[in-house]
A and B are shown apart, each in its own frame.
Chain A
Amino acid sequence: QDQSHSHDEL
């Protein structure tokens, strides 16, 4: 999964 679109923030 491309990192740019995995939301790591709440």
Chain B
Amino acid sequence: MNIFRLAGDMTHLASVLVLLLKIHTIKSCAGVSLRTQELYAIVFATRYLDIFTSFVSVYNTFMKLVFLGSSFSIVWYMRYHKAVHRTYDREQDTFRHWFLVLPCLVLALLIHEKFTFLEVLWTFSLYLEAVAILPQLVLLQRTRNIDNLTGQYIFLLGGYRGLYILNWIYRYFTEPHFVHWITWIAGLVQTLLYADFFYYYFLRFIGGRGVE
């Protein structure tokens, strides 16, 4: 564990807490894409299958349970909780996110580090996570103005993988044979997809107004 990875995990944790805070306290998911949340639930479900077979550390297992629990409860809130579901913008959240799942699965079957069930699904979760934010970014474009909590959620979610890139650079120089091209490229693509959002986020943030 290094400071970059810890910062990345804490940023990721903060993003899900901000979203849970928004949904649970003000009972609103306005501006949040249910489709992105569904994709993230699949990402964690396919990435953390090894939670029962390989124990890395208490921290690792605890965080996996937090991410699994939060992603599925956010989907449940947005789908079935009356008050929250009412604030879901169904008409605008129309990105065909299931069209992202199949190509990621095919790509994982073609490009992976080891051809085993767990490893292929783990690789699939990497590819899917790289594009999972797309429905949310499209919804953002359509709803133009979003509240600060949603903006902070997206900012933290984009930032965590950026910190992971610093972690991979650090590990590459400090650990021999630490080379994971698939993870690195997927992480880079994922972070670059936020570039546009980060630009406007900083512009508005500096301007002191909401994110438009």
Contacts and interface: CB of A to CB of B under 8 A. Distances in A.
Interface string B115-131: 00001001000000000
B105 to A, nearest CB: 19
Contact of A10 (B54, B60, B114): B60
Interface residues of B, number: 18
Interface of A: 1, 4-10
Interface of B: 5, 9, 12, 50, 54, 56, 60, 63-64, 67, 113-114, 119, 122, 164, 167, 177, 183
Contacts of B9: 10
A5 B60 contact: no
Contacts of A10: 9, 12, 60, 63-64, 67
Nearest to B12: A10
Contacts, number: 24
Contact of A1 (B5, B54, B167): B54
Contacts of A5: 113-114, 119
Q: Chain A interface secondary structure, helix, strand, loop or mixed?
A: loop
A9 B5 contact: yes
Given A7-B50, A10-B12, 8 more contacts: A4-B177, A5-B119, A6-B56, A8-B56, A8-B60, A9-B164, A10-B60, A10-B67
A1 B119 CA distance: 13
A9 B114 CA distance: 17
A4 B74 CA distance: 33
24 contacts: A1-B54, A4-B177, A5-B113, A5-B114, A5-B119, A6-B50, A6-B54, A6-B56, A7-B50, A7-B54, A7-B56, A7-B122, A8-B56, A8-B60, A9-B5, A9-B164, A9-B167, A9-B183, A10-B9, A10-B12, A10-B60, A10-B63, A10-B64, A10-B67
